Amino acid sequence: MGERCDNFLHAFDGWTLDWNEVFGLGFESAPRDWTVVYRECSIDELAQVAREGLTVPTAELRHPDNRREMELLDRFRPDHVVERGISRLRAIYAVPTSETPRFPYRHDRAILEMKVDPNCGFVGDMDFIDALIPFISAHGSGVERYHSAFRRYWDGIVPFGDFLNNYSKVETDGNVHWIRKPEASGTMPQAFFSPEIMLMTPVVSRQHIRIVRWEYGQEDPSLCEWWNDSDEIWGRSN
């Protein structure tokens, strides 16, 4: 622990933290078959990520609404999903582009770019969850009746490597989605409208993380311009 703190503190000059000395030290040297994914991170969480890497949060640290949704979906996992070790509660989440979903309760955030092993990931369609969960919540109890709907979500999960090899990004009418390639197996989902990557790994090292964008909730143009230099990436790239 002492060594880890020393590595973190050397980047602090008493006033500001040099993120380039904290993140991305091994980004370019990651294995060649690893791929880039993105996720958001609250400003408050960055210090923890700088110390420990990006880890799977405990249930107590999750937003209550998110935790309930994850617990509900995990509860209806089919056996073949459980056997592969896939769990929403035990995953680190990411998306394939830097246009990450914004949580309504999170005003200030950083967008992280991460190098990850695709063999550790699985992809599901968040569009399915976004449509189903509010409907169930509005009807209160009796979620057992939606067992088949939850099953369809889990049956549509594909390994991240298969997603990368078998789907193409398509934009129509301003909306982006991923379409199955003609040569791909017909048993795979035809499309992903909002692909969500579940990384079944306990931690993503800070060496494989960079900050690509800052977004603040307050409307202060000068602050936004200072933080959002389009040419700036925080985290070493060499």
Beta-carbon contacts of 81 under 8 Å, excluding residues fewer than 6 positions away, are 154, 157
pTM over 0.75: yes
Nearest to 123 by CA among 167, 187, 76: 167
Under the banding of pLDDT at 50, 70 and 90, the label for residue 115 is: very high
- 186: which 2 tokens? 């017909």
Q: Is the pLDDT of residue 70 over 90?
A: no
Pick from 28-42, 43-57, 72-86, 100-114: least confident: 100-114
